């Protein structure tokens, strides 16, 4: 039991190299940590139900304060993304389809942002729909162009 925990653990601490806290990023540090953890789960690097580093370990690896790590984990717990058990550490929530759900959530956020800006510009929903379609066409067009080159 302990051996398997350890081996999983090592895999994750090695991956922490990709965690980065940016000081030019305007968002609070705990939000940056939350987003990066969600990304790992969305991409399937961190699997459902698997152990993740302890708060103190995360703080040491990222060179941040324990309180910031704690904040990130608490919020992730509240959102149901991770589970923390007293004395047993934290793990990714065992929810089938969690990765997909997180990706959906990200899309939702971008759509809301687009809707908000459209509202500020006084755009009607119809126009926004049209613009979204155009954006999709542009993307496909660029992709096709790249492939022919």
Partner 1 sequence: MNDFAIEMSGVSKRYRFFSLEDIRLNVPEGQIMGLIGPNGAGKSTTIRILLGLVHQDEGEVRVLNRRMPAEQIGAKWDIGFASEDMRLYESMTLDWHMRFIRSIYPGWDAPYAQLLLKRFGLRAEQKIKGLSHGQRVKATLLLVLARRPKLLVLDEPTTGLDPVARHEILRELTSVMADEGRSILFSSHHTQDVEQISDRITFIDRGRILDSMDKEVYLDRWRRLRLETPAGVELPALPGIIGVRQEGRLAVATANAFIPDLVGAYESAGARVQRVESMTLEEIFVANVEYSREREEVQA
Q: Which residues of this chain interact with partner 1, rule CB under 8 A?
A: 21, 23, 26-30, 56-57, 59-60, 63-68, 71
Q: Compute the least distance from the CB of residue 86 to partner 1, in Å.
A: 15
Q: Compute the least distance from the CB of residue 79 to partner 1, in Å.
A: 17
For partner 1, the closer CB: 30 or 46: 30
Q: Are 33 and 69 in contact (CB under 8 A)?
A: yes
Q: Give start and end residues of each alpha helix (H) in the chain.
A: 2-15, 29-42, 55-62, 66-78, 98-120, 125-148
Q: Compute the least distance from the CB of residue 43 to partner 1, in Å.
A: 26
For partner 1, the closer CB: 29 or 82: 29
- What CA–CA distance (Å, rounded) separates 129 from 40? 31
For partner 1, the closer CB: 63 or 85: 63
């Amino acid at each position: 039991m302990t051996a398997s925990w350890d081996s999983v653990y090592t895999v994750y601490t090695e991956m922490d190299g990709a965690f980065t806290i940016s000081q030019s990023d305007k968002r609070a540090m705990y939000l940056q940590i939350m987003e990066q953890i969600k990304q790992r789960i969305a991409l399937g690097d961190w699997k459902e139900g698997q152990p993740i580093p302890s708060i103190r370990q995360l703080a040491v690896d990222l060179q941040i304060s324990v309180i910031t790590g704690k904040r990130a984990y608490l919020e992730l717990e509240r959102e149901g993304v991770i589970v923390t058990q007293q004395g047993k550490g934290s793990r990714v929530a065992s929810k089938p389809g969690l990765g997909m759900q997180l990706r959906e959530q990200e899309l939702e956020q971008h759509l809301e942002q687009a809707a908000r800006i459209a509202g500020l510009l006084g755009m009607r929903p119809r126009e926004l729909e049209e613009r979204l379609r155009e954006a999709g066409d542009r993307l496909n067009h660029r992709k096709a162009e790249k492939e022919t080159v």
